[in-house]
Each structure stands twice: as C-alpha cells, then as structure tokens.
Amino acid sequence: MKALPAQPKLLMDCSKVLVVQGDYGASARAAVDIAEGEMVEFGIVRRLDGLDGMKNQYVFTWSDEVPNTTWALGSGCATFYDTEAPGKSNTHMERFFDEDRFEIYATRDIKKGEALTHTYKSLKWRGCWDELRDALEVEKETIP
C-alpha cells in the first residue's frame, strides 16, 4: 500500500476575514463571530529591501528598531486592517521577525461584519501616518 503524501505546512489562513470596499478604500471585516483571544488570521511576510517605508503606508515595520529600517509586505488580509488609537483596537498582531511570519488575535469579542482594527506599530512616528494621527488624536513621537 502506498503511503499518503505528507500534508504541506499551512503558511497563511485568513478564512475568518473578508475584505470589502469601505469608506476609505478596502477594509477588513470579520467573516464570522470571533471570540476574545481567538486567532483571527496568520500569515507570512516578504521583506522589501531598499524601500522607504516612512513614506509608504502599505508595508509593515519589520523590526523593533525606531526608526525602522526593515519593511515587509504581509500576506492575506492583514494589510487591509484599519488602525485605531492605542487601547481601542479589536485585534493585536504578534510579529515573529526571525521567521517572517505574524499572528493576529482578537483583543475582545468581535461580531460578524465588524471592521477589524489594530494599532499600527509605527502610528506614533512614521511620516505616512501624519493625517491619520491627527484624525485619531494620537500625539506624534519624534524619532532619534
């Protein structure tokens, strides 16, 4: 009897998320009810060399350094999550820099159809977020 082939490792799953047209462009929404602490999505990133992420709002900061010099493009729906002021988001992203992957968890119960938000890691200091900071009433931090 032939052995079954090994199941490939799943690198991305955003099956609990939909991306829809929102007021300001594409927006991530919960496709199902999601409980506090539940994983919403996981995925991988591709590092982008030579990009100035201070001016490009479509990439993730991919280090804990400030100012950041490593930028990455995320898989799945993660790039379509809106941001919210610190303490108000309904999700949190955990970054695994050395593995080029991320996991997003619900910080409270989320209802089906609700917009998914997380506080952008660079919201307080990144140049491309100046208008967004003003709208959210978040104070800008000066980077060294």
**CATH code for the domain of 43:** 2.170.270.10
| Count of other CB atoms within 10 angstroms of residue 3 | 5
* 8 in a structural domain: no
* 10 in a structural domain: no
Burial class (CB in 10 A: 0-12, 13-18, 19+), 2: exposed
Find the domain containing 63 and state its range: 17-136
This prediction has a pTM of: 0.86
Q: Structurally, how many domains does the chain consist of?
A: 1
φ and ψ at residue 21, rounded to 5 degrees: -75, 120
What band does 7 get if pLDDT is binned at 50, 70 and 90? confident
Query: Is the pLDDT score of 95 beyond 80?
Result: yes
* 34 in a structural domain: yes
* 73 in a structural domain: yes
* 3 in a structural domain: no
- Tell me the mean pLDDT in the region 2-7: 77
- Tell me the mean pLDDT in the region 74-86: 90
pLDDT in tens, 110-129: 999 999 998 888 888 787 77
* 81 in a structural domain: yes
CA dihedral (11, 19, 62, 35) in degrees, to 10, reads -70
Q: pLDDT value at position 144?
A: 63
DSSP line for 29-55: EESS-B-TT-EEEEEEEEEETT--TTT
